[in-house]
Amino acid sequence: MDPRARAFVDLFENLKPADVAWLGRYYTEQAYFRDPFNEVHSLAGIQAIFDHMFKSLEAPRFKVLDVLVQDQQCFLSWDFEFGLRGRSERIHGASHLRFADDGRVAYHRDYWDAAEELWEKVPVLGALMRWLRLRLRVA
């Protein structure tokens, strides 16, 4: 595996709260990060997102399933497992990374379906989301 991707996968599969302080080893100072809830343009912003993740969720953990690298770009598919209010949850998603010349990540975009992975699991909102999905389905 590409050494840049290997380092990033190792980081994410073993990420702990204390690791947030040294994410600068893996992200550039002006790194861009976006997911369905956040968009930041700095290492400090990325650190704040991961710090919040550890404070808000129980035992958050990534398991990387696939890695594809071409030149400065990397695509990862993953499962994100965590606890929330005593319930185990899992989100399946993907990340698009772009590496800077020094091998650190300059761009990190996460893709996952917030409607399917989260909103459909909320009691009242979930019923509405499932109803909409049925109404919008072609067949």
Per-residue model confidence as pLDDT tens for the chain (139 residues): 999 999 999 999 999 999 999 999 999 999 999 998 899 999 999 999 999 999 999 999 999 999 999 999 999 999 999 998 888 989 999 999 999 999 999 999 999 886 555 545 555 555 655 566 666 776 6
pLDDT score, position 84: 82
Q: Is the separation of the CB atoms in 52 and 129 below 8 Å?
A: no
CA distance linking residue 2 with residue 77, whole number of Å: 16
Its pTM stands at 0.83
CA dist 88 and 81 (Å) reads 7
Q: Answer whether 81's CB lies under 8 Å from 58's CB.
A: no
pLDDT score recorded for residue 70: 98
The partner residues of 84 in beta bridges, in order of sequence, read 87
DSSP state of 120: G
Specify the pLDDT at position 113. 81
What are the beta bridge partners of residue 73?
Answer: 70, 98
Which residues have CB under 8 Å from 98's CB, separation 6+? Answer: 72, 73, 74, 105, 106, 107
pLDDT at residue 87, rounded to an integer: 85
Taking a C-beta distance cutoff of 8 angstroms, is the pair 8, 62 a contact? no
- At residue 85, the pLDDT reads 83
Rounded alpha-carbon distances, angstroms, from residue 106 to 24, 43, 95: 11, 9, 13
Say what the pLDDT of residue 107 is. Answer: 98
